[in-house]
Chain A
Amino acid sequence: RKEVEQDPGPFNVPEGATVAFNCTYSNSASQSFFWYRQDCRKEPKLLMSVYSSGNEDGRFTAQLNRASQYISLLIRDSKLSDSATYLCVVNDGGSYIPTFGRGTSLIVHP
C-alpha cells in the first residue's frame, strides 16, 4: 500500500478558477509535510511547507489535518503558468527519507 496517496488527475480548470488537491498519508508519526511542483519532467521544486496551523503564500494555501491524516493545497485565481504536477511529500520524524506521492496533474486552460 502506497504510504502517500494523491489523485493523479488531471485537474482541468479555466484561468481564474480555484482548485484544491488533497493528499493522504498513512504514517501517523509523520512530522513534516511539503508540496513540490514539477514541470514537464523537470526537477521537482519546493512550493511550500505545510504547517500545523496552515499557511498561505500568495494564491497558494496549504492545510494539514492530522486527525484525518491528509494535507491539502488550494490554488486561487489559477494562472496558465500553474499548469504542472504537484507532488505531496511527507517525512516521518525518525527518518531522513521523505515519501513522495505520485503527483497530481493540473492543467489550466484559457
Chain B
Amino acid sequence: DAGITQSPRYKITETGRQVTLMCHQTWSHSYMFWYRQDLGHGLRLIYYSAAADITDKGEVPDGYVVSRSKTENFPLTLESATRSQTSVYFCASRYRDRGYPEQYFGPGTRLTVT
C-alpha cells in the first residue's frame, strides 16, 4: 500500500538495550524526519534526511542514530535505551519541491523503556 508506515507500532524494551524503529515510505519523498512527542513538549525533531546518505541533526539528537541507504527507508536506532526515551515516535516525509511543503506522518511507534 502506498503511504508511510512505521514498525513496530508498540515496543517495550529494557534500559541499555539497542532498539531500531523502522520507517518506510512509498512516495519517493526526498525528505524524511523523525520526531518524538511527549506530553508538555509537542513534536520535537530528532533527525532528518534530505536524501539517501544525507542526514542531519534536529533539536534532540542525543542518544539516537539514523541512516538512510535507500530513499524509502529511514530507520532510527536508540543505541542504549534510557527511560527518558520512552515516548511516541513519528516518522514523516515530504517532497523536495518547495511547492509541496506539506509533511505526511506515519502512524507512530509507542516505545516504553523499563
**A interface residues, Cβ below 8 angstroms from B:** 32, 34, 41-46, 49, 87, 89, 91, 93, 96-98, 100-103
Contact = CB atoms under 8 A, between A and B. Distances in A.
Contact of A97 (B42, B45, B98): B45
Given A41-B108, A43-B107, 14 more contacts: A32-B101, A34-B102, A42-B107, A43-B90, A43-B106, A44-B90, A46-B103, A87-B43, A89-B103, A91-B101, A96-B98, A97-B48, A98-B103, A101-B42
B88 A102 contact: no
Nearest to A102: B42
A7 B108 CA distance: 25
B105 A44 contact: yes
Given A41-B88, A102-B41, A102-B42, A96 B94 contact: yes
B50 interface: yes
Interface in B49-87: 50, 58
A75 B101 CA distance: 24
B112 interface: no
Contact of A103 (B42, B48, B104): B42
> What 8 pairs between A and B have smallest CB-CB spacing?
A102-B42, A43-B105, A32-B101, A100-B43, A91-B101, A44-B105, A46-B102, A43-B107
Contacts of A41: 37, 88, 108
B108 to A, nearest CB: 5
B105 to A, nearest CB: 4
Interface string B14-53: 0000000000000000010100010001110100101000
A102 B43 CA distance: 7
Nearest to B91: A43
Contacts of A87: 42-43
Given A32-B101, A46-B102, A46-B104, A96 B43 contact: no
